[in-house]
Structure 1
Amino acid sequence: MNKINIAEKFGLFDQQWTPKVISQSNGQLVKIAKGSGELVWHTHDNEDELFIVFKGQLTLQLRAKNIILNPGEMYVVPKGVEHCPKAHPDTHFMMIEPTSTAHTGENLSERTVSSDQQEWI
């Protein structure tokens, strides 16, 4: 495996809320995405979801509180916790999650990316 330049990978796409897989390790996918505005409220019943922000600001809206992430900060949404990511324009972030994690859990919307649609870059 070759080293990966994450900034270079972010330059390969413009889509919002469409995670791109850049690597895999021990059954976990390493994904990057860009976001602006809100995604959808959803839950991952069996998987934690780790978010790391590289650029912009990502708010993980939880029913009990909001977690605001700036560049260099991360947060793990525990399995079973309903959340709705909300991003300032052109926010860049990474997610590390099991290969079984559905993009928007059971809440399907026009923004949902199915596992067979996941793009490796």
Structure 2
Amino acid sequence: MNKSVDLAAALSEFDEPWSPRTVALMNDYDVRVVKTRGEFTRHSHPETDELFLVLRGTLTIRMDAGDVTLGPGQLYVVPRGTPHQPVSAEGAEILLIEPSETVNTGDTPSELTAERRVA
């Protein structure tokens, strides 16, 4: 990947929610885009933090300590090991930064577990 990344173009290439696409690599990290809609699996990532940056729409991250609601241009880092559940009733477009080996459903595999896809 030796070129600039057009996030809008990357997001226009798929419609299925909760199916992240890796659009860039940074050391051992993936920069991923994902479309959200509805409720995702409650899970945690015992070994890593997870960065959520909202590009479009609204995303709520449900956590035991309280919900965090994000709009366009806002980001939140979920600390490693923190159970969380992303939710977006209307749908949103999100940028994620996490280690390349990170599975989207963390320690709670479900029907929403997605294989790593590099765009």
Find the counterpart in structure 2 of residue 25 from structure 1. Answer: 26
Alignment-derived partner of residue 84 in structure 1: 85
* 2:37 partner amino acid: S
Instruction: Confirm whether residue 71 of structure 1 aligns to residue 69 of structure 2.
Output: no
Gaps of 5+ in 2: none
Between the aligned partners of 2:103 and 2:43, the Cα distance in structure 1 is 10
- Does structure 1 residue 46 correspond to structure 2 residue 44? no
State the one-letter code of the partner of 1:53: V
Tell whether 2:35 aligns with 1:37.
Answer: no
Identity of aligned residues (%): 34
The answer as to 2:9 corresponding to 1:4 is: no
Q: Distance in 2 between matches of 1:118 and 1:101?
A: 9
Shift, 1:90, TM fit: 2.9
Equivalent residue number for residue 118 of structure 1: 116
1:33 counterpart letter in structure 2: V
SS at match of 1:86: strand
Contact map agreement 1:42 1:83 (CA 8 A) in 2:
yes
Who is 1:101 aligned against?
A: 102
- Tell me the C-alpha RMSD between the 2 structures: 0.9
Contact 2:58 2:71 in 1 (8 A): yes
1:118: how far off?
A: 1.6
Aligned length: 118
Q: Is the 8 A contact 2:46 2:107 kept in 1?
A: no
Calculate the TM-score normalised by the size of structure 1.
Answer: 0.94
Deviations 1:55-97 (A, max 9, x none): 0000011111000000000000000100000013231001000
CA distance in 1, matches of 2:95, 2:49: 14
